[in-house]
Structure 1
Amino acid sequence: MKSPVLIALLLAAIAVGFFAGRFRSPSRTASAREILYYVDPMHPSYRSSKPGVAPDCGMDLVPVYSDASHASTAFEVRDARQSIHINGVTQGLYGIQVTKVQRTQGVRTIRGFGKVVADETRVFRINLGTDGYVKTTTSDAVGTHITQNQRLAVVYSPEFLSVSGGYLSANERSPTASGKDANASAQNSASAQARADRLRNLGMSDTQIEEIGISRKIPEDVYVVSPVDGFILSRNISPGLRFERNTDLYTIADLRHVWVVAEIFGVDADAFHAGASIRVTLADTNEEFKARVSSVLPEVDPVSHSLKVRFEADNPNFKLRPEMLVSVELVTAAPTGLSVPAAAILDSGVSKRVFVEAPAGYFTPREVQTGLRFDDRIEIVKGLNEGELIASEGTFLIDSESRLEAATTSDKTGPSSKPSEMALGTPHVETHP
């Protein structure tokens, strides 16, 4: 009878000892490990200094212990105010690239946008120096290409009749003579020339003046003709219109030579000097034309604060038309000195910074002073030395992580004395008390 009782007591003692040891072991292990902070198991970027519930998914926060492995740490701040550590795997994952500060010497391309305008020295305004009315017009619509001395309209004015009569009379009295008639002939020739000049001032063409001398008839009608090959830009005339003296009837432009006016910003305007060669490209067809700098205009745009530069271009096929938008490019020498890729510069509006890598994997922000920009590089005036390694891609990610980690470390309620960690693949870190 005693054996079964002893066996039962022995089994009970073994069971009690097993369960007691099972419950005491975690307590000792937990007390030996220090909790750094708590994270959301679904979003490891969320951290808190207290246990609780994740605000996004409602799951319990998981503790992170001091003896946890750092093998998968993506970002680690060595000194939140000085540098941030990014391992090689994360650099490749986020496209962070490092390049050397170089001393460069080459060329830079200045680009801008411009508008084609007619060469003002080749724009003609046709008007008459007397009153009259319009009888007929022919092929004179705006945009029409016309040739020199082409008739555009027929007008009538009484003043032309009287002056034409005087010219014809003086012209008939001035034959070639010798001896006593030579002086009289010279006076008649001068009188005929004076009347011919008056007809020109009134608006009669040289061709019609010559016709009067040949036909020896006073014309009742006066022809309005084009003074040059070109295009009609404006038309203020119609049959039956009564006009006053000096009223512009047509505006005609010779477009075989045109201007391009472009807006250039800042110090780039200093690179444009008279005679410099540029390239003009049409936006729609990508056709290219050669042009040369004429002058930098003195006016400054009140809105954009840009300067206007005028270029001259030959236009034999009339591909460049007034009001057409084009792009312009000027290739000029770049300054010799240190330069970095433009993507490496973080411009806050108040200061400009880059991230210098030293030692490997640790990026330290440094303020720099910049100069001219040429193509995809920016001149460095102060703040860097030749050969230093800087982050040339992914700088915004490094900057955001540096700021977030600095904010986490400076949180008095957070684990300020421990290095912060972030799970690989999660670029942003927030600290919530």
Structure 2
Amino acid sequence: MLYWYDPMVPQQKFDKPGKSPFMDMQLVPKYADEAPAGGVAVDPRVAQTLGVRTAVVEKQRIGASVEVPATVQLNERDVAIVQARATGFVQRVARLAPGDVVAPGAVIAELLVPEWAGAQQEFLAVRRTGDEALAAAARQRLVLLGMPAAVIQQVERSGQVQALALIHAPTGGLVQELMVRPGMTVSQGMSLARITGLSTVWVEASLPEAQTWAARVGQPVEVQLSAFPGETLRGKVTSVLPEANTETRTLRLRAELPNPQGRLRAGMFAQMRFGTQAEEALLVPTEAVIRTGQRALVYVVEQPGRFRPVQVQLGRELGDQLEVLQGLQPGQQVVASGQFLIDSEASMQGVLQRQASASAPAASAATAPAPLPAAALHEGVGRIVELSAQEVTLDHGAVPSLRWPPMEMGFKLAQPEVAKGFKVGDTVRFMFREGQDGYEVTRLEREQHQHGGAR
């Protein structure tokens, strides 16, 4: 036997058994042959008391399905701008307003174009001379003035000047802007209306970054709308936009749906669902993975009370499970909760430091500076009062390892991922250490039994 210790304050060692001065529990013996090489040992009775739970690494055949909220939007690729072909005066405007739907070829406005009248009179006069070359040149001038072919043909047939020009909608759809009114003077190239087609619509969804692996251009999607319960519409992904939202950390996914009857209206709420082909994947519970910022670790159960830290390479996030690409084998058992105790033991026994040293290249060992000793880890129980991406404020109980009384105190987060899934008001067990800029929390775990952390 090496010494006696309190599992809640493993850094403090005692030379004889008895009751812990920090907690209301007996000291636990530490034996020289407890931990296997590269592993850490924890008394099984202590592990059971502190709620250490394990899970089996499983290989499953999965076909991931992703469902995200979406909204219907107008197809901005199907837009027509109506412009004046010549300078003129607005004589009449159709009874339209923004938001109206027009058919293809519908009259938008009627213009009086004096310049056209003069050019047409010149053309008719030249044609009467019988000089075909001059007549062809005069006719070409009408084309260059922006006169539609139908108007030129009417002038040729009737021999009458047509100074009034009708402005038609080049396509059917929604009038989004109407910039022409009776009595206006318009110049050549001036925009008179903006029309968006309704034959197809976009359905846009915000996809979390962790799920973007599941989306690709051309992929079939199913869309269900609140307006049409029980009905499923089908389309394809047309684009995954290249810019992420910096506030929500999501990407915009766009699918295109046919809209032959015009039932789909911009602003409608929808649910978009798409999936991937089934394939085998090695899965562990998300809570089993410890993210340190530099690597991801899990504790593998060697035998009851014996654990070994293993560095893993992670893949996709599938609900409450993570895909493991490297580091584990099917059938292994990993610690799924209660890693505080094991983290404390590993830090005290120097397991993680020995692993890091062993993985470093031998060639650089001679030139690399000696590693600094790891900061002592402390733990406590408290309630989250404030929470941000960088800090957490805890109303916690006494911390015996530092002889702290109950208090409310702010801590930095070692990594933003430490607080993922937690919210203000949660009662948590937290592990922290002293860093260069004060105390920082390295791990949070939801406390199953509510403890009075606050004063």
Same fold (TM over 0.5): yes
**1:311 corresponds to:** 255
Amino acid at match of 1:35: G
Give 1:231 deviation, angstroms.
0.3
Separation (CA, whole Å) in 1 of partners of 2:191 and 2:105: 18
Q: How many percent identity over aligned positions?
A: 22
Give 1:314 deviation, angstroms.
0.9
Higher strand proportion: 2
* TM-score, normalised via structure 2 length: 0.57
Secondary structure at 1:354 match in 2: strand
Say if 1:114 and 1:217 are closer, same or farther in 2 by CA, change over 3 A: farther
Secondary structure at 2:20 match in 1: strand
| Map 1:241-280 → 2, pairs under 5 A | 241-260=184-203, 272-280=215-223
Kept in 1: contact 2:245–2:251 (CA 8 A): no
| Map 1:8-407 → 2, pairs under 5 A | 35-38=18-21, 47=23, 64=26, 82-84=40-42, 98-110=54-66, 116-163=72-119, 197=143, 201-202=146-147, 217-260=160-203, 272-282=215-225, 288-295=232-239, 299-301=242-244, 303=246, 310-322=254-266, 328-333=272-277, 335-360=279-304, 365-392=309-336, 395=337, 398-403=338-343
Q: How many residues align?
A: 333
- CA displacement, residues 289-327 of structure 1 (integer Å, 9 cap, x when unaligned): 322133555x44484787665432212243544566755
| Greater RCO, 1 or 2 (C-alpha within 8 Å, sep 6+) | 1
* TM-score, normalised via structure 1 length: 0.59
Kept in 2: contact 1:110–1:330 (CA 8 A): yes
Separation (CA, whole Å) in 2 of partners of 1:361 and 1:215: 104
Separation (CA, whole Å) in 2 of partners of 1:66 and 1:376: 35
Say if 1:65 and 1:296 are closer, same or farther in 2 by CA, change over 3 A: closer
- CA displacement, residues 260-308 of structure 1 (integer Å, 9 cap, x when unaligned): 45566769666655432123455787764322133555x4448478766
Give 1:382 deviation, angstroms.
1.7
Separation (CA, whole Å) in 1 of partners of 2:28 and 2:255: 70
- CA displacement, residues 157-206 of structure 1 (integer Å, 9 cap, x when unaligned): 21233455577889x99xxxxxxx9x97x998x7898577557x35x595
Say if 1:213 and 1:115 are closer, same or farther in 2 by CA, change over 3 A: farther
Kept in 1: contact 2:61–2:279 (CA 8 A): yes
How much is the aligned-residue C-alpha RMSD, in angstroms? Answer: 4.8
Separation (CA, whole Å) in 2 of partners of 1:344 and 1:63: 27
Structure of higher CA gyration radius: 1
Amino acid at match of 2:238: S
- CA displacement, residues 352-383 of structure 1 (integer Å, 9 cap, x when unaligned): 22343343476654331112234543221222
Kept in 1: contact 2:35–2:306 (CA 8 A): no
Separation (CA, whole Å) in 2 of partners of 1:66 and 1:378: 35
**1:75 corresponds to:** none
Separation (CA, whole Å) in 2 of partners of 1:361 and 1:219: 98
Secondary structure at 2:105 match in 1: coil
Separation (CA, whole Å) in 1 of partners of 2:398 and 2:45: 16
Amino acid at match of 1:82: V
Specify every segment of 5 or more residues in structure 2 that has no aligned partner in the other structure, as ranges.
1-15, 351-396, 404-455
